[in-house]
Structure 1
């Protein structure tokens, strides 16, 4: 079961190298390509009657020549992982830009000749996550992020499960059906001015997966049952389950304290019962203890690569 985009792509391309009878948690390469293509996602969303931010697919040369783009904006690579000439893959983080100089620099950091630019929407980060089998959604969980890091463009720091959104769930089911997807997925939205805008699709295990499990929908177990030909159990979920990413919440705590945002500081420090954690566990503390070391090694390697 792949847990990263790179692992998803690599496993799909190596399906024939595994012995017969091996249960592989991935789709065929063409389906994976479509599921990780941001431009394709916009087309699929339109067909599924889901709303997306008005995007613009534009080359770096056009931007350098003075093409106008409304700011602030979000800059993305056209694909989650962009193939390189040496047979590898290049990636870049989603970037929020507020000035022309930031826009041009962000475009230079994106692999490939073109970038996807969307308006920066202020709103609540939401997600519909689940498991599908041959295009049919078997289980689905809805969540809303109460805190993200970095603010304005980040990833979930604290979230909770919410009731199904009747305006969103049918469209997500149509999107997954159009892909013919089998496996875990997460469709991400920004809810702004009473509209939920689809901003991304993670066709794999994702960062806040522990929330679905804590809410009663053990998505990895359901996926494993489907792969092994068993009848899955536990497809429903409990509203009000909570999730905390220790690393991101601590980073947000430090940022908020330095900025004098005491409301956020108090909110982060407030204890919440029945909260699932991304890494922290009294039964198994090593993932949390080692996460800082892994982050330092990653930063050191990134500096050496520059």
Structure 2
């Protein structure tokens, strides 16, 4: 099993690292971004959003990544609803996923999509979103409870 590692390198260090390792491991380079993390939590059926909830990081770790304190947004901006709807629809997604974005001064950047329940699920459930109940109901063929529109 291959282990993946994140390296934060200067431009010169990147060139040296790539020359040393590219022939033996996978290397992905990305621009260093500064901003606040946002998790869009989605439950969907056949590309249609059923439940949607957003968690924002209260504190962004200095070097990015890792866990941090989060809060649930009371209102979901239309721009984030559109991002979630487009991704869900294009993937024809059924099930849960967490879309992780970084909000910067230039706009939103997609960091990753996790096709599973997210680490802050307890916060989501505590806010009344009922993802677990709706996921279960969807899996056993029962009616789910539609998401409340929060804009």
Give the structure with higher Rg (CA).
1
Alignment of 1:121-136 (within 5 A): 121-136=33-48
Alignment of 1:47-58 (within 5 A): none
Aligned to 2:59: 147
- 1:172 Cα deviation from its structure 2 partner: 1.6
1:160 to 45, 51, 71: 71
Corresponding residue SS for 1:128: strand
1:171 to 70, 80, 83: 83
Conservation of the 8 A alpha-carbon contact between 1:128 and 1:187: yes
- 1:109 Cα deviation from its structure 2 partner: 7.6
Deviation digits for residues 3-26 of structure 1 (CA, Å, limit 9, x no counterpart):
xxxxxxxxxxxxxxxxxxxxxxxx
Q: CA RMSD in A?
A: 2.8
Give me the TM-score of the superposition, normalised by structure 1.
0.43
1:222 to 134, 139, 146: 134
Aligned to 2:29: 117
Corresponding residue SS for 1:226: helix
Conservation of the 8 A alpha-carbon contact between 1:126 and 1:191: yes
Give me the TM-score of the superposition, normalised by structure 2.
0.82
Aligned to 2:113: 201
Q: Which structure carries more helix by proportion?
A: 1
In structure 1, C-alpha distance between the alignment counterparts of 2:132 and 2:5, rounded to whole Å: 26
Report runs of 4+ in structure 1 exceeding 4 Å deviation: 102-110
Alignment of 1:1-306 (within 5 A): 89-98=1-10, 100-101=12-13, 104-105=16-17, 113-149=25-61, 151-162=62-73, 163-233=75-145, 235-236=147-148
In structure 1, C-alpha distance between the alignment counterparts of 2:15 and 2:110, rounded to whole Å: 22
Q: Which runs of 5+ in 2 are unaligned?
A: none
In structure 2, C-alpha distance between the alignment counterparts of 1:107 and 1:206, rounded to whole Å: 36
- 1:100 Cα deviation from its structure 2 partner: 3.1
The verdict on how the C-alpha distance between 1:107 and 1:220 changes in structure 2, with shifts beyond 3 A counting, is farther
The verdict on how the C-alpha distance between 1:214 and 1:174 changes in structure 2, with shifts beyond 3 A counting, is same
Q: Which runs of 5+ in 1 are unaligned?
A: 1-88, 239-306
In structure 1, C-alpha distance between the alignment counterparts of 2:95 and 2:125, rounded to whole Å: 15
